[in-house]
């Protein structure tokens, strides 16, 4: 089972960016956590991060025929990107959306997610554990 894990803008600055919201663990820590969880579940993951909307759309499109599901933290593009929503809908793979922080308790503009319009599951406020839960959800969705 192959899962594409996508992280959007500014997640590469984890540990530096707003540590009171996102914590002090780094992006490398997050990637290591995802890989460890995937290994434990017998999943193959590819990790991709970009600060550029078009690069995220391109990577989503390239998932078609190459991956079984997508775990995505679109970060700030959550609230603005119809292009990412359209790409996810176009490839038609199971999608789990994840956010480190509790977006429902943040600024009003962060409380709407375009991606949630196509995601089968949305997890937020669980920190790194949200990615593990998202991988479990995708595994369960894809298992016969």
Point out the residues that are catalytic: 22, 99
Contacts of 114 (CB under 8 A, 6+ apart): 78, 79, 80, 81, 82, 84, 85
Count of positions (residues) in the chain: 144
Q: Which residue has the tokens 């002090």?
A: 24
Q: ∠ at Cα 4 (75, 36), nearest 5°? A: 95
| Closest C-alpha to 5, from 44, 39, 42 | 44
Q: Which token pair is 85?
A: 């929503």
Q: ∠ at Cα 45 (21, 65), nearest 5°? A: 120
């Amino acid at each position: 089972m192959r899962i594409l894990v996508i992280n959007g803008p500014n997640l590469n600055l984890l540990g530096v960016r707003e540590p009171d919201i996102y914590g002090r663990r780094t992006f490398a820590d997050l990637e290591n956590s995802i890989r460890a969880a995937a290994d434990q579940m017998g999943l193959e993951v590819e990790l991709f991060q970009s600060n550029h909307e078009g690069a995220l759309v391109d990577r989503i499109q390239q998932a078609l025929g190459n991956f079984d599901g997508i775990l995505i933290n679109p970060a700030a593009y959550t609230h603005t990107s119809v292009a990412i929503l359209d790409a996810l809908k176009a490839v038609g793979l199971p999608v789990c959306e994840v956010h480190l922080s509790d977006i429902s308790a943040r600024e009003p503009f962060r409380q709407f997610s375009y991606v949630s319009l196509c995601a089968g599951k949305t997890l937020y406020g669980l920190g790194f554990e949200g990615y593990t839960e998202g991988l479990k959800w995708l595994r369960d969705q894809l298992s016969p």
